[in-house]
Each structure stands twice: as structure tokens, then as C-alpha cells.
Amino acid sequence: MRERVFFALALALGGAGEGAADGHAEAIGDAERGAEIWVYCSGCHQIGPDAEIGIGPPLTGIFGRRAASVEGFPYSKSMSRMGSDGLTWTLTTLDAYIENPLVLVSGTRMSFEGLEDPTERADLLAFLREYSDKPSNIPEAAPTARPDYPKLSEETLALVGDEAYGEYLSSECTTCHQRDGSDQGIPSITLWPEKDFVVAMHAYKQKLRPHPVMQMMASRLSDEEIAALAAYFGSLSN
């Protein structure tokens, strides 16, 4: 595996100049710097023509790939659900996932909390882009133009939800989600940390998460109502 990682890094470092010359890799970041960041990913993921399944799925050709679609890899139930919902890896969704995996996949088994620095994320994306089937067809975006995901103000994150109001609103949620926390084909939202609940709902509201019904439901809720639901379902763990 170590030889494969070194081979992948050598390819990336050798091809970074070529990507920069045609203006593609530079537009989303520096692939050479991204190769240095990739070292931290390589303990779980492989990349390159000979990449295999390891602790995590191989990331060759990740752009345009449906989530949870590598045959033979035992994805988490949450990641499989997101793939079924239609989550596809693009510059936007990868950037959001790398910054905070829980934004897109609440039950992800990713072993890191996220990469906050937007420049480092852009560099890593540039590196991953070198291993796409057709890098020149991947839309570009300036790293500085990408906001944090989802776009939430400090005021929104600081809202203290009203549990009683959340209980009043919860009947629409519990039409599908089991109040007792059981999972009957639909993920549990009981025992969910309040911040994770809020971030996930806003990700649906901003259409980062692809489920159309959840997007519709979230779009109807105000920030205060989302905070109230988060407080109520979080309180059920007490």
C-alpha cells in the first residue's frame, strides 16, 4: 500500500504543472500542495490506476460518481441512503463534505472532523481532480468564492430552541421517523445532537442534501422552528 501511495503522489506532483498550464487545476487550487494534504487521507483511501478498496473506498474518478457506488465496499447505512437519494460528488458537494462530513452524511464513518481551511480544501480538490476521467470537463470555481457549508450565520447556530414548540411541530416529522429512535428503513432523528440536526436541516433547505421530500419539508421551516425541533428531539435522549 505504501508503494501505491507513493506512486499516486508521484503522479500528482508530476502532473500538477500540466494542469496548471491549461488553467484548470489552478482555478480550484494547487494540486501539488493538495498532494501533501492527501498524505493524511491515504491511511484510509487509495487513488490512482491501481487503487483498491481499503479502510475507505478508492477515490479515483470521484468527480461525478454517485455516493456509495463503489462495488464491494461496505458503506455505512447513512452513506448508502444518501447515495440512494441521489447524492453525487461534485466540487460543491465534495467541498461541503470535506469541510464537515456531517453536513451531508449524518452517520458517516469518516474518521476526521473536517478540513476548515478553504484553501487547503481547494488544493485537495485539485489533487483529486487529477485522477478524474476527464478533468477538463469539471467546472471550475475560485476557492475564495465558496462559502462555508451550509451557509449559516452565528446567530442561527446560537438559537436556543423551544422544546415545547418543537414537540408541537414534531408530528409531521414522526409521520415517517420513529419517536422511539428505532430505524425501520428511515433514519432515526431521536438522540441526535442539536447542532447536527440544525446543520442537516439547513443542508436540505439549501439543497446540498438531495432528498426532494426533505428539501421541501425543510424549506417550510424557519430558523426558529428548526432550532425548536432540534431541541425537542435532542431532549428525548435525557
Q: What is the pLDDT of residues 86-102, one digit of tens each?
A: 999 998 899 999 999 99
Calpha distance 63→138 (Å, rounded) = 8
Helix axis angle for 118-129 and 2-21, nearest 10°, is: 100
Q: What is the CATH number of the domain that holds 77?
A: 1.10.760.10
Residues 84, 186: one domain?
A: no
166 in the same domain as 102:
no
- Of 145, 175, 208, which one is at a domain's C-terminal end? 145
What is d(CA 93, CA 227) in angstroms, rounded to the nearest whole number? 24
Domain that holds residue 104: 2-145
Q: Is residue 204 domain-shared with residue 159, that is, in the same domain?
A: yes
What are 10-39's pLDDT values in tens digits? Answer: 333 333 333 333 333 334 789 999 999 999
Are residues 167 and 185 located together in one domain of the fold?
A: yes
* Rounded Cα distance, 104 and 82, in Å: 8
Place of cell 480538490: 125
Among candidate residues 145, 176, 210, the one where a domain is terminated: 145
- Tens digits of residue pLDDT in 138-179: 766 544 334 456 778 889 989 999 999 999 999 999 999 888
Whether 165 contacts 228, CB under 8 Å: yes
Question: Do residues 24 and 75 both lie within one domain?
Answer: yes
How many domains, the chain? 2
pTM exceeds cut of 0.85: no
Distance (Å, whole) CA 49 – CA 30: 21
Q: What is the DSSP letter of 139?
A: P
Do 109 and 20 share a structural domain? yes
Do residue 71 and residue 176 come from a single domain?
no
- Share the mean pLDDT of the chain: 83
Question: Could you tell me if 129 and 173 lie in one domain?
Answer: no
Counting Cα atoms < 13 Å in the Cβ hemisphere of 94 gives: 24
CA distance readout (Å), 32 to 6, 16, 70, 145: 13, 6, 26, 21
